[in-house]
């Protein structure tokens, strides 16, 4: 992953330099630019120096004020893609093009459904990342979620083990409570279905690890497997057939959509 981080850092540095250049060419100091974009001068300074990650709303406002025709939004999207590990980039392309997504996670809320606080806590578990790299990865993860808000979003079916919504300690309590509330809200969308495998199902075939499947408009499937060293993009027919079979098995072990929502509500209620 270090190669992706270095490449992403370099590209983000070029974007920050271009932002400063365009701002100066427009005859604006940081204070004036901040007023025009509805950000404080300190925020503008933090973005330009890299102590705060540039996000899509900031890039969009910069494009409007500097009249750059979407330049910064486009550069930011490219930088985020290049900042991802090389093995992950084909999956990102498949994810964006998918009309169906099927995800099983035995340990964590999937990245596409994570709140900012939950995602930051998960990313910070990697103690090799600097604060700036954490924020860069966080921004990229939040940006990925935009596929669920498209005019024609993919159908996203998620299966989680019950432990995912119960793994909590005192320091993580509020972040998980907010995360489960978010899952309940998302489950109300017609294109998102969340199912819980109850804790009394002690053993099932998919406990060996998480996976996600994407179905594209042409009817083909692509899979992604996560592991401690990164992940594997799966596109071979026999491997995909195995994952699709595993999906059917674990989906059948899970509660219905309504039952899963009720269980999530009970979990949150038990904490209050």
Angle at 195 between CA 225 and CA 94, to 5 degrees: 35
- Residue 63: both structure tokens together: 């494009």
140 pLDDT tier (thresholds 50, 70, 90): confident
Greatest mean pLDDT among 12-21, 53-62, 251-260 lies in 251-260
Task: Provide the pLDDT for residue 9.
Answer: 63
- Diameter over CA atoms, the chain: 65
85-271 shares the fold of 2-82: no
Give the predicted TM-score (pTM) of the model. 0.74
pLDDT in tens, 193-226: 999 999 998 888 778 889 999 998 888 999 999 8
Task: Provide the pLDDT for residue 86.
Answer: 67
Angle at 227 between CA 222 and CA 254, to 5 degrees: 65
SS3 state at 212: strand
Residues for the chain: how many in total?
272
pLDDT at 53 exceeding the cut of 90: no
- Residue 145: both structure tokens together: 């979620």
- Residue 120: both structure tokens together: 């930051």
Q: How far is CA 12 from the centre of its chain?
A: 19
| CATH code of domain 2-82 | 1.10.260.40
Q: State how far the Cα of 111 lies from the Cα of 138, in Å rounded to an integer.
A: 10
Task: Provide the pLDDT for residue 131.
Answer: 84
Class of the CATH-defined domain 85-271:
alpha beta
Give residue limits of the domains in the chain.
2-82, 85-271
- Helix %, strand %, coil % of the chain (to 5): 60, 15, 25
pLDDT in tens, 66-110: 999 989 888 887 777 666 666 677 788 889 889 999 999 999 999
Q: State how far the Cα of 255 lies from the Cα of 239, in Å rounded to an integer.
A: 26
Q: How far is CA 221 from CA 8, 91, 153, 244, 249, in A?
A: 28, 11, 17, 9, 18
């Amino acid at each position: 992953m270090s190669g992706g981080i270095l490449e992403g850092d370099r590209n983000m540095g070029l974007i920050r330099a271009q932002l400063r250049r365009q701002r100066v060419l427009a005859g604006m100091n940081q204070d004036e630019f901040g007023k025009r974009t509805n950000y404080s001068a300190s925020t503008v300074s933090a973005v330009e120096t890299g102590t705060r990650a540039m996000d899509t709303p900031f890039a969009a406002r910069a494009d409007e004020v500097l009249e750059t025709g979407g330049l910064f939004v486009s550069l930011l999207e490219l930088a985020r893609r290049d900042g991802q590990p090389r093995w992950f980039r084909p999956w990102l392309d498949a994810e964006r093009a998918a009309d169906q997504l099927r995800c099983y996670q035995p340990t964590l809320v999937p990245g596409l459904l994570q709140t900012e606080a939950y995602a930051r806590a998960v990313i910070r578990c990697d103690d090799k990342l600097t604060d700036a790299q954490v924020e860069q990865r966080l921004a990229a993860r939040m940006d990925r979620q935009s596929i669920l808000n498209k005019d024609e979003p993919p159908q996203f079916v998620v299966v989680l083990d019950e432990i995912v919504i119960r793994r909590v300690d005192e320091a993580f309590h509020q972040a998980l409570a907010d995360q489960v509330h978010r899952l309940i809200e998302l489950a109300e969308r017609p294109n998102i279905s969340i199912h819980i495998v109850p804790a009394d199902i002690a053993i099932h075939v998919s406990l060996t690890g998480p996976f996600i499947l994407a179905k594209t408009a042409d009817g083909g499937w692509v899979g992604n497997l996560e592991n401690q060293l990164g992940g594997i993009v799966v596109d071979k027919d026999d491997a995909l057939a195995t994952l699709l079979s595993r999906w059917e098995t674990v989906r059948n072990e899970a509660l219905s959509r309504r039952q899963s929502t009720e269980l999530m509500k009970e979990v949150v209620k038990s904490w209050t």
